[in-house]
Amino acid sequence: MASCTDHMVVEKMSRLCLLLLAFSCVVAAAAFSWQRHHPHRPDRLAASSELVDVAYHMGPVLASPANIYTIWYGHWEAAPQGIIRDFLLSLSSPSPSPSIAEWWRTVRLYADQTGSNVTGSFVLAGEVHDSAYSHGATLSRLAIQSIIRSAVAAHPQRLPLDPHGGLYLVLTSPDVRVEDFCREVCGFHYFTFPEIVGVTVPYAWVGHSGSQCPGMCAYPFALPDYMGGASNANGSGGGIQVLGAPNGDVGADGMVSVIAHELAEMSSNPLINAWYAGSDPAAPTEIADLCIGVYGSGGGGGYVGSVFKSSEGESYNLNGVKGRRFLVQWVWNPVKKSCFGPNAID
């Protein structure tokens, strides 16, 4: 069972990789300033919506109030932890519009067969620091589940095993290498196997790409190697200007958008049998996969869309708690049948 199901994860993430690579290739061919005005193209969105068939496959969504349990694996500094933690707090906390909580309302439009919508209530219920690298600094994808098992069994501090409302988020530090990280994946979500963890609970893993591959997993705050800017967070390289990270940390700000992507998909498709496009559950196209690279109105085809820019040159599209700003990709809105976010200008 484990080997077969893990193969499904590989297939799904490989498909996501192809989308990312295709997106990067388009960007390589484009020559423009990310901050230039780009008018909304309703014909583009209409054409794409005709090709998209996000269907419900009768499985559950995460409808109950959610407890987020975070596992900080490896060596973490306090500053990037603060950025990520504040994003998680922003999911169901009031902030100035357009806010993270308003962005989540699109995810909440997805419901199960009972009519129960995805939850809008999140609590940061616990966290563990695995600074001893309990499973080493080089990990397989399946090892992520073993890290969760260690976290719920750790002494004296441990996380509860919460099969009813628990979401487990494994975040690896910049020096940890995960199977296919930077080559094919920036993060993924799935559910745990009872033979490893003891119960079935949804979980996600996201890697810190700040030193390993910012040009892939922290894009558009850095450019890929082939564009001469894998580490150029100063805004230059290859003739294309990168966006300024909203909290000044390319790696952590890049992680936030990947975490948002995985949380949206984990909530609407926790057991890989709820909401997705395509007929193959081994390689589903989920609600965030459909909007990779789109952060504002007019986004698509290598352009991130219309986003805000602070006086300090930092780019963002959503507000969070404690005055934080974030750049988070849009997700597929099943009512509008297009990618959407609360920062839309039309």
Q: How many domains are there within the chain? A: 1
Confidence at residue 13, expressed as pLDDT on a 0 to 100 scale: 40
Quote the domain boundaries for residue 179: 61-231+239-284
Q: Does 310 map to a domain?
A: no
- Looking at residue 43, its pLDDT comes to 27
pLDDT of residue 236: 42
In-domain check, residue 35 = no
At position 39, the amino acid (one-letter code) is P
Tell me, yes or no, whether 4 lies in a domain. Answer: no
Cβ atoms 93, 85 nearer than 8 A: no
Q: Is 129 within a domain? A: yes
Q: Does 139 fall in a domain? A: yes
Return the pLDDT at 49.
56
The one-character DSSP state at 137 is S
Residue ranges of alpha helices (H) inside the chain are 2-29, 42-51, 78-90, 100-107, 143-153, 194-197, 214-217, 250-268
pLDDT at 117: 98
The rounded distance, in Å, linking the Cα atoms of 180 and 165 is 29
DSSP 172-236: E-TT-EETTBTTTBSEEEEE--HHHHSS--EEEEEE--TTT-HHHHSTTSS--GGGT-TT-TTS-
Residue 116 within a domain: yes
What residue has token string 């991130």? 304
Contact predicate 223/229, CB 8 Å: yes
Answer yes or no: is 22 within a domain: no
Tens of pLDDT along the chain (346 residues) come to 333 444 444 344 444 443 443 333 333 322 222 222 222 222 233 335 556 789 999 999 999 999 999 999 999 999 999 999 999 999 999 999 999 999 999 999 999 999 999 999 999 999 999 999 999 999 999 999 999 999 999 877 789 999 999 999 999 999 999 999 998 899 999 999 999 999 999 999 999 999 999 999 999 999 887 766 444 444 444 456 789 999 999 999 999 999 999 999 999 999 999 999 988 888 899 999 999 999 999 998 878 999 999 999 999 999 999 999 999 999 999 999 999 999 999 7
Q: How far is CA 281 from CA 197, 217, 278, 286, 329, in A?
A: 23, 25, 8, 10, 24
* Contact assessment for residue 170 and residue 148, using Cβ atoms and an 8 Å cutoff: yes
Structure tokens at 111: 């419901």
Tokens found for residue 294: 């789109």
Q: Is residue 14 part of a domain?
A: no
CA distance 221 to 250: 6
Q: Is 335 exposed, middle or buried (0-12, 13-18, 19+ CB in 10 A)?
A: exposed
